[in-house]
Structure 1
Amino acid sequence: MRQCGRWLFGRQARLRWVHLVLGGALLMPYFLLGSIFVGPLLGEGQPLFGSLRAQFISYAAALPLVALSALIFPLARPLSVGAVRALCGVHEELAEGPARSRAARVRTSAWFTLHLGVGALISGMTLAVPPFSVFLLAVPVFRVLRESRFGDPALFEHTWAVVLAPVAGAVCLVLLAACAAAAGTLLARWAPQLLAPAPADRLAAAEERAAELAVRNRLARELHDSVGHALSAVTLQASAARRVLDSDPDFVREALSAIEDTTRRTVGELDAVLGLLREGDEAGEGGRPTSAPTLEADLDGLLTRTRAAGLPVEASIGPGVDPATLPALVSREAYRIVQEGLSNALKHAGSVPVTVHIARTDSALEIVTENPLPTASPPRDGGGRGLRGIAERARLLGGTATAGAADGRWRLCVRLPLGGPR
């Protein structure tokens, strides 16, 4: 009994009733538009206040207009989905955004028509039944109602009719609630079928998610390369300064100055990347910070800071390479690749001589870093996240990256096409 009462008058039933009444309200413009044509055809000037027959014909004429509008206007589906989630208690997955395919638009049109059509019937009953039920409930109390034109004086002369009138009024109210609950349950059951994501919606959502993950992966590489290089350089600078703190104060001052410069630049890059994450990856090109360093802007500074960390670096740039004329994307990625190559040498080889050579072929930029393998540690056979990040950067531009040990030296070779990603 309690479950039945909850189904008829519970919170969910009331919300679904409101959903149906909203559907009836949305049908009114279509009903009035249909009545413009139905009135002259039936010879009735105002079908809205005319015969019941004219009203039902106007209602039937409105439904095709409802279906057509849902096919034409793309906002019909997001509006319907929002109302269903808020009022119908549907927990299944529903589509997001406008319908993209013809099949999705047809299903949206069917749902919109069902909602407004059923909602109009329930709304009409909601307007008509409660006043009639109140009249029947008040008949035994007010004699004037029994004798009014709204009643049947001959009928209410019988005692049984007067006694049963309140019962009939209560039954009408219960039947109204039952019709509303049944209609609400019907719509809640059909919503996941008609408003579920279509294959095109799922594909678009998957592509959007993949693009978002790609952006976040690029941001993660920026953080790894920038912060990782800075920490490696600062660690070596601080260690060297500690060893000669008493004997070489000039070197200590130079090391502390390099640490200050390195950390300041890295904090700036970290703030830019975190700003992108906070703002939903809306700034910058392709999810990269707008202030990302390039070969043209900071290659010399990178080499200077690395040498200050105690790493001997010999850099050479081929005659065909002009950092100012490189594509911006290639210049940024090349800078990060050089930075990560130097960072790997700092972390894994220590203060060993490193050579960096940047050359240009007809269609690509080639970056080669080499350093002797340390005698105290085994050769590296695949690297960590840094080498994977270099390979990802090269692959996104359509290039290649190889790394490995040979003849007692570690060699990283990256080739970046100058035409951009393919």
Structure 2
Amino acid sequence: MKAFAALLFGRRARLRWIHLILGGALAMPYVLVGEVFVGPVTGSQHVFEQFPLQLLSFAVGLPLAAVTSLFPLTRPLEAGAVRWLCGVDAGLLVYGPARTRAAKGRTAAWFTLHLGFGGIIAGMSLAVPPFAAVLIALPAVAGLRDTRLGLPEVLDHTWALALAPVAGAGCLVALAGCAAASGALLAHWAPRLLGPAPEDRLAAAEARAADLAVRNRLARELHDSVGHALSAVILQAGAARRVLDTDPEFAREALAAIEDTTRRTVGELDAVLGVLRDGDAPGTGPAPTLAADLEGLLRRVRAGGLRVTAAVETDPAALPPVLSREAYRIVQEGLSNALKHAGDGVRVTLRITVAGGHLEIAVENPFTPNPVHRPGGGHGLRGIADRARLLGGTAEAGQREADGTWRVQVRLPMKGPA
């Protein structure tokens, strides 16, 4: 019983009732315009006093309401009212003006339904409560029985008079039920008529995909630049601490490499943050490339204790700019993985060559059976695969069965999608 009462008279039902009454108030001007047409056609000068003619005026006014719903602010205003009064999720509605023909048609259908249901419920809300109050008070107030008030003669019987309060309460419950049902129907139809069309959903999905692509690109840049720099700095600082007393010269080289690594990383971080702020990075240097920055990268990782043997069998300066930039990041991440998982003092082999119209990059290092687990790590190989896929290439990583070494192999087409 409590749930039934909440369904008819709860806060949500009351707000939807208000929404319907507002629809009835909006319908009144259209009904008055309908009376202007109905009066001359039917030859009646008192349309408002005849219920059938009132209904006819209401029916004539609804098409006029559908035409005026083409006003641009109709959908935003109706969507706002539906959100706050009908309890429809904001994400299911569109708050901008209807642009396409289909959207305008759905808005017109919604506005007609709102005013149609609202006019009926508003009329019932004006007529039923006074009638119900008379029925409830009829047995106790003799004056009401004497004035009659247009009540049916059946109420002269004793049994009908006794049941009059029950009938009055039933009228109020029926009114609340009609209002709750009408409000629920409008709330159900609102997302379909005021919500996004399939083309709107497609545009939103495309915008979301573009946003995720930008986020993923920035995440890769941050991971490859900052992650590599931190891994290199940790190993360089550890190597410098261990040989500070026995090999001061190597310690000085490691500290110089730490300074150079952090300076370059700050510049790359500024460039990425510039993209986040303004969509570009004014005043920052260009992104590192294989042609201009490979030697510096090798020098820094060697200063951290990694013994890198590099075989570059092509001219990096002859590579396309996009390919050179992405190849640098792939080499950087491959060496960073070796730094993190193999440790210092390990021999790493880097080979860069061009074969069959593809740039081939291979990074090999001894496989560590029990690498140190890093919480939140494991994104490096995924980033390499993403970069290779975006360029139309392939990336493979795993342990070689022949000698047990860990190998990262990447093939990038010399001409492909950027």
- Aligned-residue offset at 1:17: 0.5
1:194-250 deviations in Å (ceiling 9; x for gaps): 678776666556555554544444344334322431233123202210221113334
The reply on whether 1:20 has 2:20 as its aligned counterpart is: yes
Q: Which amino acid aligns with 2:412?
A: R
Please identify, of 12-21 and 314-323, the stretch whose mean Cα deviation from structure 2 is larger: 314-323
Partner residue, 1:386: 380
8 Å Cα contact 1:399-1:414 kept in structure 2: yes
Partner residue, 2:411: 414
- Aligned pairs, how many? 394
Q: 2:317 aligns to what SS in structure 1?
A: coil
CA distance in 2, matches of 1:334, 1:46: 86
CA distance in 2, matches of 1:262, 1:123: 74
The reply on whether 1:309 has 2:309 as its aligned counterpart is: no
Q: 2:244 aligns to what SS in structure 1?
A: coil
Partner residue, 1:338: 331
The reply on whether 1:368 has 2:361 as its aligned counterpart is: yes
Partner residue, 2:55: 56
8 Å Cα contact 1:227-1:266 kept in structure 2: yes
8 Å Cα contact 2:304-2:344 kept in structure 1: no
8 Å Cα contact 1:345-1:354 kept in structure 2: no
Q: Which amino acid aligns with 2:22?
A: L
8 Å Cα contact 1:292-1:332 kept in structure 2: no
Q: 2:411 aligns to what SS in structure 1?
A: strand
For residues 189 and 377 of structure 1, do their structure 2 counterparts lie closer, same or farther at Cα, with a shift above 3 Å needed? Answer: closer
- Aligned-residue offset at 1:413: 4.0
Q: 2:246 aligns to what SS in structure 1?
A: coil
CA distance in 2, matches of 1:13, 1:305: 69
For residues 300 and 121 of structure 1, do their structure 2 counterparts lie closer, same or farther at Cα, with a shift above 3 Å needed? Answer: farther
- Aligned-residue offset at 1:270: 6.1
Alignment of 1:61-210 (within 5 A): 61-67=60-66, 83-89=81-87, 95-97=92-94, 109-130=108-129, 173-188=172-187, 207=206, 210=209
Two-structure CA RMSD over aligned residues (Å): 5.3
1:146-181 deviations in Å (ceiling 9; x for gaps): 88xx9579x9xx999999998887665444334323
- Aligned-residue offset at 1:60: 1.3
For residues 333 and 143 of structure 1, do their structure 2 counterparts lie closer, same or farther at Cα, with a shift above 3 Å needed? Answer: same
Stretches of structure 1 that go unaligned for 5 or more consecutive residues are none
- Aligned-residue offset at 1:396: 1.2
Question: TM-score, normalized by length of structure 1?
Answer: 0.66
Alignment of 1:267-278 (within 5 A): none
Partner residue, 1:5: 5
- Aligned-residue offset at 1:122: 1.2
1:370-403 deviations in Å (ceiling 9; x for gaps): 55x44x858x9xxx64333222212112234456
Partner residue, 2:374: none
8 Å Cα contact 1:318-1:360 kept in structure 2: no
CA distance in 2, matches of 1:396, 1:415: 10
- Aligned-residue offset at 1:267: 6.2
